[in-house]
Amino acid sequence: MAREMSAKYSPGNLSTPGKVTVYTLLIIGSAFFLFPVIWMLATSLKTQGAVSLMPPQWIPHPFRWRNFIDIFTVEPVGRYLLNTVCYSLVCVVGSTISCALVAFGFARLRARGKNIIFGLVLATMMVPAQVTMIPQYLEFVKLGWINTYLPLTVPAFFAVSAFNIFLLRQFFAGIPRELDEAVKVDGGGYFTTFFRVILPLSTPALATVGILEFMARWNDLMGPLIYLNTTNKFPIALGLANFSAAFGATPWNLLMAASVVAVIPLLILFFLAQKYFIKGIVINASK
């Protein structure tokens, strides 16, 4: 049904006026969403005085490329980026592996009450993070983990993302069970099925979970704001929020330059992995 509707309303099947309308709406929508990006790029190349000019200066004159050097000298942006990369990669590995294991259990194992437990897992998505924020903080205080990355990374290894579990479970459920039987005939167990059959066939879903987790951790502000106190431990999101501390006022040109640098890794990741990301989303949606 979804494929039929997609084919029916695709630009290639529309009349000429229809195509003009569709592409006009797409261009307007693209311009609307690209406006903040264009403004960020323009501001990142301005001098501090040119930022507040009225009317706004859309094309910087002169182009101040030195802003991209100054952000690494006046603020430890390089350190922020390194912290963020390490933090994000550890969480991606932990969340992908743990959520895949839990999803495998829900999708392939037979147990009484499994669907009820799965429903409870999904119900946790409705609980606001603010409800558990204080109890978690008190727990990590007792463990002595404050001002370390342990409160931010260790939970990722315990499948705390119900959405990732749901996404992987739906994908695993679509893999033919005859493959499980073939593994049993060859003398393999559940772990053999998981590592030798399920994971190799689930690359799109795993890539989707990895990308979503990486983006969430890369943009995470609240977690580091709560648990980290030392500047040299800040990730990029918290570092940008604290950018004005060294100046007494916000240097918008340098802040926008640092924001451009922070966005580039996400763009590179998406363009390199978009094939797997889109494939994983489409396959799960069609199921």
State pLDDT tens for residues 191-240: 888 888 888 888 888 988 998 899 999 999 999 999 999 888 999 999 88
Q: Is the pLDDT of residue 32 over 90?
A: no
Structure confidence by residue, pLDDT tens digits, 253-279? 888 888 888 998 888 887 887 776 666
The model scores a pTM over 0.85: no
Structure confidence by residue, pLDDT tens digits, 145-193? 999 999 999 999 998 899 999 999 988 988 888 888 888 888 888 888 8
Tell me how crowded residue 150 is: count the other CB atoms within 10 A of its CB.
Answer: 14
- Chain-wide mean pLDDT for the chain? 84
Distances in Å between the Cα of 284 and the Cα atoms of 46, 97, 116, 177 are: 44, 19, 22, 18
Domains of the chain, residue spans: 2-68, 73-286
Task: Please give the backbone phi and psi of residue 58, each rounded to the nearest 5 degrees, phi first.
Answer: -75, -35
- Can you tell me the mean pLDDT for 30-45? 85
pLDDT band at 1 (very low <50, low <70, confident <90, very high): very low
Q: Encoding tokens for residue 224?
A: 């580091």
pLDDT of residue 5: 45
pLDDT of residue 14: 58
Sign of CA pseudo-dihedral 40, 42, 45, 50: negative
- Can you tell me the mean pLDDT for 57-74? 83
pLDDT of residue 28: 86
Sign of CA pseudo-dihedral 52, 54, 58, 62: negative
Eight-state DSSP code of residue 109: -
State which fold the 73-286 domain adopts: MetI-like fold (1.10.3720)
pLDDT of residue 91: 94
- Can you tell me the mean pLDDT for 53-80? 83
Distances in Å between the Cα of 115 and the Cα atoms of 107, 163, 164, 169, 250 are: 10, 16, 17, 12, 52
Q: H or E segment at 171?
A: helix 162-173
273 closest CA partner among 205, 178, 171: 205
Q: Is the pLDDT of residue 51 over 50?
A: yes
- Can you tell me the mean pLDDT for 89-95? 94
9-23, 196-210, 273-287: which range is least confident on average?
273-287
Residue 141 contacts residue 179 (beta carbons within 8 Å): no
Please tell me whether the peptide bond between 265 and the residue prior to it is cis, using omega within 30 degrees of 0. Answer: no
pLDDT band at 35 (very low <50, low <70, confident <90, very high): confident
CA–CA distance, 279 with 177 (Å, rounded to integer): 22
Q: Encoding tokens for residue 75?
A: 């603020």
Residue 148 contacts residue 227 (beta carbons within 8 Å): yes
CA–CA distance, 212 with 208 (Å, rounded to integer): 6
80 closest CA partner among 197, 210, 277, 255: 255
3-7, 28-32, 186-190: which range is least confident on average?
3-7
Residue 28 contacts residue 234 (beta carbons within 8 Å): no
- Scan for tokens 């009820």, then name that residue: 116
Task: Please give the backbone phi and psi of residue 269, each rounded to the nearest 5 degrees, phi first.
Answer: -60, -45
